[in-house]
Chains A and B, each alone.
Chain A
Amino acid sequence: MFLDLGVFCKNTLDGEAVDHCFSALFGLAQNSDPSYLDWLMKAWGWTLAVAGLGLIIALFLGVVMGTLRTLPITTSLNRWLIRISTTWVELFRNIPILVQVFLWYHVIPSFVLPLKSLPSYWLVSIALGFFTSARIAEQVRAGIQALPSGQTAAATALGLTTAQSYRYVILPMALRIVIPPLTSESMNLIKNSSVAFAVSVPELTLFAMQAQEETSKGVEIYLAVTFLYALSAFAVNRVMTLIEKRSRIPGFIVSNDASLAH
């Protein structure tokens, strides 16, 4: 089995070879037609954009919802916040991601008209972000509940309000504990972004399906796409490991070698 990697240096209009593989992207050849490599890079960019936007939404909402779920039941406001965050988690983690993407793209905009003018990549990012936020919320909750109860007691003894004890004592500790599962979720989000092709975002999966039909070089195309997905997810893994190492408090979390933790 020979791999014909020359397919990436072919023109996407008529399948002829181009002079510079990166012709259109880097402007090496003025006005020349894009090659499959140009298209692949563009598709990779869309994958990273959708996943990146989704990750920002997921981390923010996940931390907020996970924290709300652990609030002490002392006031009726807290009781409502717990109910809302529990509903959030159960709603978004129990519906398959592809179904959620379709709901955001086809169903919800027909009730909430302003969403119709939102580009499809935003809708996918929202869907991915909400889905992942529900999973992150549970990890954050687990992290908070894993803390010894003495921490909260000490914060209260110091005269801190509930908000202050979360801000200065509980969250800084809990978030450090949950970095390893957060890493997995962030990597999953990159891979889950492949559902974006279903609603017309021109990302890697759409590129793979289209380009392999046009060139009949399915093996080469899918290998390249697989490599880029793996590379993107691994890059996230490295960044998260770095954050984990940098934010570690010596002596608090017993860890022999963080890089083996994943």
Chain B
Amino acid sequence: MSTNCLIAATFLLGAVNAHAASQTMDKIKSTGTVTMGVRESSIPMSYTTGDSRFDGYHVEVCRMILADVKDKLGLSTLRINYQPVTSQNRVPLVQNGTVDIECGTTTNNTARAKDVGFANTLYVEEVRIAVKANSGITSIAQLAGKKVATTTGTTSVQLLRKHEKANGVNFDEVFGKDHADSFLLLESGRADAFVMDGSILAGNIANSKNPKDYKIVGEVLATEPIAIMVPKNDPEFKAAVNAAIAKIVTNGNMPKLWNKWFLGPIPPKNIVVGLELSPATKNAWANLNDKPAEDYNKK
């Protein structure tokens, strides 16, 4: 009897799952709207250009993806609601269905993959070192005994700790409350270097008073795949997103998007981020995959 119950329950669960497989697509089709999670200040990946408008590399990719989804569902119009998210709430908001597709700067890792799904990676972040151009520092080994700034609540803090332990190089760590504070530490001479994601370093340098006074130097300390986040257990929606991504890549649009957001002047202030395309990102385009960060750092 209990076995029968179990079998029945399994079938029921299977049925529920089968239905859940297209939950996001059903919702988009029936309401004609979709909610995109965006970041407010992650230049140039995803940021606000004022007046509740959002733009950026990942936001533009997501708009292309959603245009494909719209065609696939046979909708004539698809309204996009932009929902600003933070590092703290982005995973729960995708999990509970408030956000259908998150287009920010989320690292794809195994811990998060338990709660949400990730589309194929289109941007591989590299943790780098920013220093004053006249400091003469060119590698992490030269930072021994120097003050190294990084931002509280980021993976870079743990990365520096691991590096210190592994190589016996001792830094004097100083922590900024946010990226702007960490950059101020470098600017005001309270730190000799700022260790952080390359795009954040490039963005802060581009925004500074004299961008020429700073440069990004040295080896890549870590690589992390940054991916578009989608609800878990919705293979149909994820497949549609990945199909759209594959189409953008095969059409040869990715280098154009890169040039637009990372090398050209971007709205609203026409600053130039100036981050060259890395071999790791190029490789991700050539071999589309949704591998988590853990796979990147194995080597």
Contact = CB atoms under 8 A, between A and B. Distances in A.
Interface string A79-122: 00000000000000000000000000010001000000000100
Contact of A210 (B111, B153, B165, B184): B153
A81 B162 CA distance: 55
A198 B111 contact: no
Interface residues of A, number: 18
A200 B152 CA distance: 9
Nearest to B114: A216
A25 B143 CA distance: 27
Contacts, number: 40
A13 B161 contact: yes
Contacts of A106: 184, 188
A67 to B, nearest CB: 37
Nearest to B109: A216
A213 B175 contact: no
Given A197-B152, A213-B153, A213-B155, A206 B188 contact: no
Contact of A214 (B158, B181, B188): B158
A13 B177 contact: no
A13 B176 contact: no
Contacts of A120: 174
B236 to A, nearest CB: 28
A197 B177 contact: yes
Q: Is the interface of A mostly helix, strand, loop or mixed?
A: helix
Contacts of B181: 198
B116 to A, nearest CB: 13
Nearest to B162: A13
Given A198-B181, A213-B154, A213-B155, A12 B161 contact: yes
B175 A216 contact: no
Given A13-B162, A13-B165, A200-B176, 12 more contacts: A12-B158, A13-B158, A13-B161, A14-B162, A106-B184, A120-B174, A197-B177, A200-B175, A210-B153, A210-B157, A210-B175, A213-B87
Identify the 10 closest CB pairs spanning chains A and B, nearest first: A209-B153, A200-B174, A198-B177, A200-B175, A213-B153, A209-B152, A214-B158, A216-B111, A206-B152, A210-B157
